[in-house]
Amino acid sequence: QVQLVESGGDSVQVGGSLRLSCAASISLSGYSFSLLYMAWFRQVSGEERDMVACIDRAGIIEYGESAKGRFTIARDNAKNTVYLQMASLKPEDTAEYYCAADFRRPANWTRWRHWAYWGQGTPVTVSS
């Protein structure tokens, strides 16, 4: 199993910055964090969970349209942690942010249904 714990969510003003963290604990013998595909999604109540950013084992990254130019995903395999650095935050970035993981590359890694493991989420509120 893989347990994911997000942190770093907060209430910030428009234009502010936040860094979210997702720490992974792996209880599967022979598996390590470096083998995980990782992603950040976000969800507004009543809406679909949208991909923010994905990073694969080699560090290849894909960003959702809302994140391009403002957010940065990074992983630290030594710390079993993936980060989402968010800058120039807007009110429309307000959402619950979730970390996702999978040992296999999801068939469509931009779709939340294709990911195996999820954290509980961390809330981000951006106010003007």
Residues 7, 99 contacting (CB under 8 angstroms): no
In whole angstroms, give the CA distance from residue 71 to residue 89. 9
For β-strands 61-63 and 50-55, DSSP reports them as antiparallel
In whole angstroms, give the CA distance from residue 89 to residue 83. 16
pLDDT in tens, 65-91: 999 999 999 999 999 999 999 999 999
Dihedral pair phi/psi, residue 113, rounded to 5°: -65, -15
pLDDT in tens, 44-62: 999 999 999 999 999 999 9
Would you state the pLDDT for residue 50? 97
Strands (E), the chain: 2-7, 11-13, 18-26, 37-43, 50-55, 61-63, 71-76, 81-86, 95-102, 117-118, 122-127
